[in-house]
Amino acid sequence: MVPLSWYLIVAAALFCIGLYGVLARRNAIGILMAVELMLNAVNINLLAFWRYLTPAHMTGQVFALVVLAVAAAEAAVGLALIVAIYRTRDTVNVEEVDLMKL
Amino acid sequence: MLNLTWLIPVFPFLSFVLIVLFTNPNKKLSSGIAIGSVAVSWVLSWGVFFQSIAGHIGMGEEAFRLHVPWLPTGTEWFPMGVNVDPLSAIMLFMVPFVCLMIFIYSVGYMHGDPRYSRFFAYISLFACGMLGLVVADNLLMLFIFWEIMGLCSYLLIGFWFEKPSAMKAGLKAFLTTRVGDAFMLAGMLLLYSQTGELTFAHIFAPETLEKLTHTQVNLGFLGSLPWASLLAMLIFGGAVGKSAQFPLHVWLPDAMEGPTPVSALIHAATMVSAGVYLVARCFPLFTAVEAGPQLGLVAFIGAFTALFASTIAVAQDDIKRVLAYSTISQLGYMIAALGIGAYVAAVFHLITHAFFKALLFLGSGSVIHGSGTQDMMEMGGLRKHMPITFATFLVGTFALAGVPPFAGFWSKDEILADAFHQFTELGVASWPFFVWLFLTLAAFLTAFYMGRQIFLTFYGESRRPHAHAHESPKSMTYPLIVLAVFAALLGFAGVPEEFPVLGHLLGGNPFHHFVGHEFPATPLNGLVMLISVVMALGGLFVAWLVYGRNPLKEGQPDPLIQALGPVYTVLRRKYYFDELYQATFIRLALWLSEIAFAFDNKWVVDPLVNLAGKAGVALSNLGGWFDRTFVDGAVNGVAEVVGWMGGALRQTQTGRVQNYLLAAALAVFVLLVISVVV
Amino acid sequence: MAQAIFIILSLFTLGCALVVVTNRNLFHSALYLAFVFIGVAGLYFMLQAEFFAGIQVLIYVGAILTLIIFAIMLSRDLMNPNVRGFNRQWWAAAIVAGLLFLALAVVLVRAPWPAAPTGEPSPAFIAELGQALVSPAYVLPFEVVSILLLAALVGSILIARER
């Protein structure tokens, strides 16, 4: 049997990889991709817990579904924003979108 | 009226205050206020005087007293108040009246002076002082008013302070009388410490005098004395100073630098007689110890001064100086009379002298005003130009010389008679004899120098023909006339009872009855009377011989210079007393003051103060360095650290979200670790 | 046996994830992201959440990834790897991420989880899920999520349309 902790560790690793991407990437779309990684890691976590601790209840599934839906919505809006910014600023490099910086 | 006695000094004081504060610019108003206030005081005083005659006011316990508790002293209150007894009543008769005459005279004499109002303010304050002195009921109050008069004397002698001689004369007067006042104050303080009282009614109570007579004070190598004697002699010191007796006589002739009304008021009639008044007032203290040294001292000083001053007067050329020395001499008469116990005679002479001396001074002022000079050698023939002045001056001269029936004769004769009577009982080796002899000789000289003055001033031809002399205005001559009347007639109040015809006609010596009824009346002595008349007329005759028969011409020297030779020089130079004092006391005082000044300025006080200052500066520099280095360093250091930290921390505010997220991730990690470890 | 599969799947997923975050070529990153999603779907299978695996592939790979690729296409300039793909703090980020992973790993290993699943999921799983979504317990989140999707829909159209 695969211990629960293994799943959790994988999720943690995926989360951290995503974290690294968020912190280190310059490209806005790259950052968004890393965010998707993190959300996936969360989902893995949720479903692992559901399966190992309360498989009879629906709560875990519902939660994971909600997370999934939110991830989708967020990706949509985020990419729309990026496209809009690209149209006006002609760049998707987050370091160059700094009008609000002092 | 007696209840209003306390108001008598108040009016002149108010006048002083008003003139100083408000009416100084308005000359007429100032003199009006001054004269008005003295007039009111005069009316009140004569009211008190007549009421006290009618009410038979007596001395000591029978006197009229009003007092209020004034100064808290330990468990009791020191009272201040007024005291009316025959002595003060008779003074109240004389003082405000003479003051009023002189005030009126001053209107004319000081006319045109730029500090006219200030003059009236000063003499008003002076009048307040004298009147307060006369009605005072305790020694402290007397002393206060005594000092007020001293102050006014200083201010008035130096009234024309542009003249250095006037300034110096004022200072000389003040300092010399100060020496006397120091003795008086010592006497007062010791009296208070012995008896706990300064009020006259209490210190002259028989019990107190008993105690003072029989307790002795040990003066070391000087032996021991009864307290009463010591106190009397100390208080007499004040009189010596104020009444310009030997050896403190040097200030009075120089005080002639002041305006003539001042000389008349202060240095003839009132202030100088305050010393005599003081001795008269403290007479019970002086007579407490029988055959004590105090009365002998008083008699000696008085008689000696009388003769001494009259010899100097003979050789003076300044018209006012002659009168000044005459005043000193006459005061000596009064002091000597008190010294031999002739209380009534002394007071009588005080009163008459005030009138005719004031008259003589005002007359001399009139002469100076009219002729423009004070030097008798430059006068002459003024009889024709200033008749009123001449007539009144002549009356004053006769009164002073002791020509009957003028006032001075009666008063002077009473002193001589009293002295004669006493030494016939005590023998020749006694104070009364000394007094009688000296005073008789002085009478001769008095008549002589007054005659000299009359002949030099008024007779002969004018020795300054180019200067025109004119009679003085009415404001000056009217007081002269009034005073002359008194000088002529006042003596009749004190005619001895036994005098043929006049004695009983005039009420049997009312003066004696009023002032000194407890003293035995002096028996009438025809021989003494004859001798004094001979002295008076003789002196005048000799003066006529020298000066009147062939009046001096212009430029002619005084015949006395040749007649007396070197004696004349000694007389003229006042026995070199001023030089003696200058060489001894004054040099000593100046040397002491130099030392004190050096002590203060160079050696000790100033260097210490400067050192303290420098120490303060050094300390503050140290503090400043400390403050700058450490405190400021700390503060600046904090600021710098903060600034540096700010600069460092500023780097974290990159404005980039990813940086912030990194920080957040790091924080999460740290929290995780902490929650695991702790 | 299951463990071996698990390990292979995990390594595959994680490796592709690493490539996603480190590759300079954005398009390659997107493709590797697809592999990651598939790997995750595989993990879901192992967790007996088949429905979810399917959903995962459908939505993530089918929709989201497509969206990403569209966005990449629409911002073509940055497809060439001339500009640096990473910012200046990448090393700090790596360290922090690594540390965080270590800390999490320590916590997770130490925690007393049950080693085996405590039960079985019910066979009529999907029906129950559907029921549950409209049951009073979860209908509210369900409705909210639908509104969210609506908002996202409207919003993204609004933001991204041409003026």
Q: What ranges do the domains of chain C cover?
A: 1-80, 126-163
Residues A22 and B658 sit within 8 Å (Cβ to Cβ): yes
Please tell me chain B's helix, strand, coil percentages from 3-state DSSP, rounded to the nearest 5: 75, 5, 20
Task: Determine contact: B667 vs chain A, CB below 8 A.
Answer: no
CA C87 to chain B, closest CA, distance in angstroms equals 9
Identify the pLDDT of residue B505: 66
Identify the pLDDT of residue B59: 63
Chain C, nearest residue to B666 by Cα: C96
Mean pLDDT of all residues in chain B?
84
Identify the pLDDT of residue C41: 95
Question: Which of B657, B659, B669, B672 should one mutate to test binding to chain A, selecting the residue with the greatest count of A CBs within 10 A?
Answer: B657
Which of B40, B34, B9 lies closest to B20, judged by CA?
Answer: B34
Q: Say whether pLDDT at B91 is over 80.
A: yes
Which residues lie below 8 Å from residue B67, measured CB to CB, with a gap of 6+? Answer: B79, B80, B81, B82, B137, B199
Query: Other C-beta atoms within 10 Å of B579: how many?
Result: 11
Identify the pLDDT of residue B60: 58
Q: Which residues of A touch B (CB under 8 A)?
A: 19, 22-24, 31, 94-95, 98, 100-102
A12/C36 CB distance under 8 A? no
CA distance B141 to B132: 8
Residues C135 and A64 sit within 8 Å (Cβ to Cβ): no
More confident residue, B195 or B130: B130
CB contacts of B653 in chain A (<8 Å) are 102
Residue B496 DSSP SS3? coil
Torsions phi, psi of B652, nearest 5? -75, -20
In this structure, which amino acid lies at residue B312?
A: I
CA distance B540 to B497: 29
Helix (H) or strand (E) holding B45: helix B27-54
- The pTM assigned to this predicted structure is 0.65
CB contacts of C68 in chain A (<8 Å) are 29, 32-33, 75, 79
CA C20 to chain A, closest CA, distance in angstroms equals 8
CB contacts of B655 in chain A (<8 Å) are 98, 100-102
CA distance C29 to A36: 12
Identify the pLDDT of residue B501: 66
Which residues lie below 8 Å from residue B633, measured CB to CB, with a gap of 6+? Answer: none
For the segment C57-116, what is each residue's pLDDT rounded down to a tens digit? Answer: 999 999 999 999 988 888 776 555 556 777 777 888 899 999 999 999 988 888 888 777
Identify the pLDDT of residue B623: 87
Residues B256 and B321 sit within 8 Å (Cβ to Cβ): yes
Residue B604 DSSP SS3? coil
Q: DSSP for B577-589?
A: HHHHHIIIIIHHH
B672/C87 CB distance under 8 A? no
Identify the pLDDT of residue B268: 76
Average of per-residue pLDDT across B283-287: 85
Name beta bridge partners: B81.
B67
Fold of C1-80: Four Helix Bundle (Hemerythrin (Met), subunit A) (1.20.120)
Identify the pLDDT of residue A40: 95
Identify the pLDDT of residue B148: 92
CB contacts of C66 in chain A (<8 Å) are none
A64/C52 CB distance under 8 A? yes
CA distance C159 to C148: 16
Average of per-residue pLDDT across A39-63: 90
CB contacts of B662 in chain A (<8 Å) are 23
A16 pLDDT tier (thresholds 50, 70, 90) = very high
CB contacts of A35 in chain B (<8 Å) are none
Q: Say whether pLDDT at B61 is over 60.
A: no
Task: Determine contact: A96 vs chain C, CB below 8 A.
Answer: no
Identify the pLDDT of residue B503: 65
CA distance B157 to B255: 6
Identify the pLDDT of residue B128: 92
CB contacts of C107 in chain B (<8 Å) are 672, 676
Residues C51 and A64 sit within 8 Å (Cβ to Cβ): no
More confident residue, B71 or B162: B162
Which of B410, B435, B450, B408 lies closest to B539, judged by CA?
Answer: B450
Q: What is the DSSP letter of B219?
A: -
Query: Other C-beta atoms within 10 Å of B135: how many?
Result: 25
Q: Nearest CB to B661: which of A22, A95, A101?
A: A22
A19/B665 CB distance under 8 A? yes
Residue B656 DSSP SS3? coil
Q: Nearest CB to C96: which of B669, B673, B676?
A: B669
B508 pLDDT tier (thresholds 50, 70, 90) = low
Which residues lie below 8 Å from residue C17, measured CB to CB, with a gap of 6+? Answer: A14, A17, A18, A37, C32, C36
Torsions phi, psi of B65, nearest 5? -135, 140
Q: Say whether pLDDT at A34 is over 90.
A: yes
Q: DSSP for B283-299?
A: HHHHTTSTT-HHHHHHH
Least confident of B17-31, B52-66, B396-410: B52-66
Identify the pLDDT of residue A88: 83
Chain B, nearest residue to C99 by Cα: B669
Residues B309 and B249 sit within 8 Å (Cβ to Cβ): yes
Chains within contact range of chain C (3+ C-beta pairs < 8 Å): A, B
Complex-level ipTM:
0.90
Average of per-residue pLDDT across B90-98: 90
Average of per-residue pLDDT across C9-38: 92
CA distance C91 to B281: 119
Mean pLDDT of all residues in chain C?
86
Least confident of B123-137, B219-233, B398-412, C139-153: B219-233
Q: Say whether pLDDT at B258 is over 90.
A: no
CA distance C74 to C70: 6
For the segment B96-120, what is each residue's pLDDT rounded down to a tens digit? Answer: 999 999 999 888 888 888 888 889 9
CA distance B659 to A3: 36
Inter-CA distances, B163 with B6, B160, B586, Å: 38, 6, 21
Taking CA B280 as the corner, what is the angle to CA B277 and CA B282, rounded to the nearest 5 degrees? Answer: 110
Q: Say whether pLDDT at B317 is over 80.
A: yes
Identify the pLDDT of residue A7: 92
Question: Which of C91, C96, C109 should one mutate to test binding to chain B, selecting the residue with the greatest count of B CBs within 10 A?
Answer: C96
Which pair of structure tokens corresponds to residue B514?
Answer: 């009023």
The gap between the terminal CA atoms of chain B, to the nearest Å, is 109
B502 pLDDT tier (thresholds 50, 70, 90) = low
Identify the pLDDT of residue C145: 93
Task: Determine contact: B652 vs chain A, CB below 8 A.
Answer: no
For the segment A69-102, what is each residue's pLDDT rounded down to a tens digit? Answer: 999 999 999 999 988 888 888 777 887 777 776 5
More confident residue, B40 or B211: B40
B656/C87 CB distance under 8 A? yes
In this structure, which amino acid lies at residue B154?
A: Y
CA distance A66 to A51: 17
The sign of the torsion formed by the CA atoms of B600, B602, B606, B608 equals negative
CA B202 to chain centroid, in Å, comes to 26
Average of per-residue pLDDT across C25-29: 87
Identify the pLDDT of residue C80: 58
Taking CA B304 as the corner, what is the angle to CA B300 and CA B305, rounded to the nearest 5 degrees? Answer: 115
More confident residue, B598 or C33: C33
The sign of the torsion formed by the CA atoms of A19, A20, A25, A29 equals negative
Task: Determine contact: A4 vs chain C, CB below 8 A.
Answer: yes
Chain B, nearest residue to A22 by Cα: B658
Q: Say whether pLDDT at C17 is over 70.
A: yes
Which range, A20-34, B60-74, B268-282, C101-115, is most confident? Answer: A20-34
B661/A23 CB distance under 8 A? yes
Average of per-residue pLDDT across B52-67: 72
Which residues lie below 8 Å from residue B226, measured CB to CB, with a gap of 6+? Answer: B212, B213, B214, B215, B216, B217, B288, B289, B292
CA distance B247 to C70: 136
Chain B, nearest residue to A19 by Cα: B665
B203 pLDDT tier (thresholds 50, 70, 90) = confident
CB contacts of A102 in chain B (<8 Å) are 653, 655
Q: Say whether pLDDT at B56 is over 80.
A: no
Taking CA A62 as the corner, what is the angle to CA A58 and CA A64, rounded to the nearest 5 degrees? Answer: 120
The percentage of residues in chain B with a pLDDT greater than 90, rounded to a whole number, is 16
For the segment B342-389, what is each residue's pLDDT rounded down to a tens digit? Answer: 888 888 899 899 988 999 999 898 888 888 778 877 777 787 788 888
Which pair of structure tokens corresponds to residue B9?
Answer: 């000094």
Identify the pLDDT of residue A44: 94
Q: Nearest CB to B666: which of C87, C96, C110?
A: C96
